[in-house]
Chains A and B, each alone.
Chain A
Amino acid sequence: MPVEQREDTVVWRRRDKRQAVIHWFVTLGIAAVVLWCFKLIADDTTWEFVWSAPEQGADLAIRMFLPEWFVDIPQLWRDGELWVHVAEYFRQRGLYAMELWDPLVDTIHIATLGTVLGVMIASPLAFLAARNTTPSTTFVRPIALALLVTSRSVNSLIWALLLVVIIGPGMLAGIIAIALRSVGFCGKLLYEAIEEIDENTRDAVKSTGASGMQVLTFGVIPQIAPAFAGISIYRWDINIREATILGLVGAGGIGMALQSAIDTLAWGQVSVIFLAILATVVLSEWVSAKARAAVT
Chain B
Amino acid sequence: MLVIEGLLKRYPDGFEALKGVDVTIEDGELVALIGPSGAGKSTLIRCVNRLVEPTEGTIELNELELTTLNRAGLRRARRRMAMIFQNYALVERLTVMENVLSGRLGSVGFFKSLFRRFPQDDVDNAFALLEKVGLEGLHDRRADALSGGQQQRVGIARALMQDPDILLVDEPTASLDPRTARQVMGLLADLCEEHGLAAIINIHDVPLARDYTDRILGLKAGELVFDGPPEELTDDVLPEIYGGEDWSKEPSEDDEEEEDIRSSGQFLAEEVL
B107 and chain A: residue at smallest CB distance: A209
Closest chain B residue to A226 by CB distance?
A: B93
| A217 and B93 contact, CB distance less than 8 A | no
Bound: A209/B73 CA distance, A: 10
> B91 touches which one: A201, A207, A211 (CB < 8 A)?
A201
**Nearest CB in chain B: distance from A260 CB, A:** 49
* CB neighbours of A209 from chain B (8 A): 75-79, 105-107, 162
- CB pair A214–B110 under 8 Å, yes or no, is yes
Interface SS majority for chain A: helix
The answer for the CA separation of A200 and B103 in the assembled complex, in Å, is: 15
- Contact with A225, one of B49, B93, B110 (Cβ below 8 angstroms): B93
The answer to whether B209 has its CB under 8 Å from any CB of chain A is no
Chain B, interface residues (CB within 8 Å), range: 20 to 34
Number of A-B contacts (CB under 8 A): 83
Residues of B within 8 A of A206 (CB): 51, 78
Whose C-beta in chain A lies nearest to the C-beta of B268? A10
Q: Determine the residue in chain B with the shortest Cβ distance to A212.
A: B71
Q: Whole-angstrom distance between the alpha carbons of A247 and B229 in the complex? A: 80
Using Cβ atoms and an 8 Å threshold, which residues of chain B touch A203? 51, 83, 85, 89
A222, B113: Cα distance in complex, Å: 14
Q: Which of B72-119 contact A (CB under 8 A)?
A: 75-79, 81-83, 85, 87, 89-94, 102-107, 110, 113-114
A108 within 8 A of B: no
Q: Which chain A residues border B110 with CB–CB below 8 Å?
A: 211, 213-214, 217
Contacts of B113 in A (CB 8 A): 210, 214, 217-218
Interface size range on A against B = 20 to 34
Interface of B is mostly: helix
Please give, as numbers and ranges, the residues of chain B lying within 8 Å of A10 by CB-CB distance: 271
A210 touches B106 (CB 8 A): yes
For residue A208, CB closer than 8 A to chain B, the reply is: yes
Contacts of B103 on A, CB cut-off 8 Å? 208
Are A205 and B102 touching (Cβ within 8 A)? yes
Question: Known: A5-B271, A208-B106. Contact between A219 and B91, CB under 8 A?
Answer: yes
Considering the complex, give the chain A residue whose CB is closest to the CB of B114. A217
Q: Are A208 and B91 in contact (CB under 8 A)?
A: no
Task: Kindly name the residue among A198, A214, A226 whose own CB sees the greatest number of chain B CB atoms within 10 A.
Answer: A214
Q: Does A223 contact B (CB under 8 A)?
A: yes
Task: Give residues of chain B (147-169) contacting chain A, Cβ–Cβ below 8 Å.
Answer: 155, 158, 162, 168
Kindly state whether residue B272 has any CB partner on chain A within 8 Å: yes
Asked whether, in the complex, the Cβ of A222 is within 8 Å of the Cβ of B93, the reply is yes
Q: In the complex, A225 Cα to B91 Cα: how many Å? A: 12
CA separation between A214 and B79, bound complex, in Å?
14
Contacts of A5 in B (CB 8 A): 271
Enumerate chain B residues within 8 angstroms of A210, measured Cβ to Cβ. Answer: 75, 102, 105-106, 113
Q: List 10 A-B contacts (CB under 8 A).
A: A10-B271, A201-B92, A204-B85, A207-B83, A207-B168, A209-B78, A209-B79, A210-B75, A222-B93, A223-B93
Q: Which 8 A-B pairs have the closest CB atoms?
A: A209-B106, A210-B105, A209-B78, A204-B89, A200-B89, A209-B79, A207-B83, A222-B93
8 other contacts beyond A208-B105, A208-B158, A218-B113, with CB at 8 A cut-off? A8-B272, A204-B89, A207-B51, A209-B162, A210-B105, A214-B105, A225-B93, A226-B93
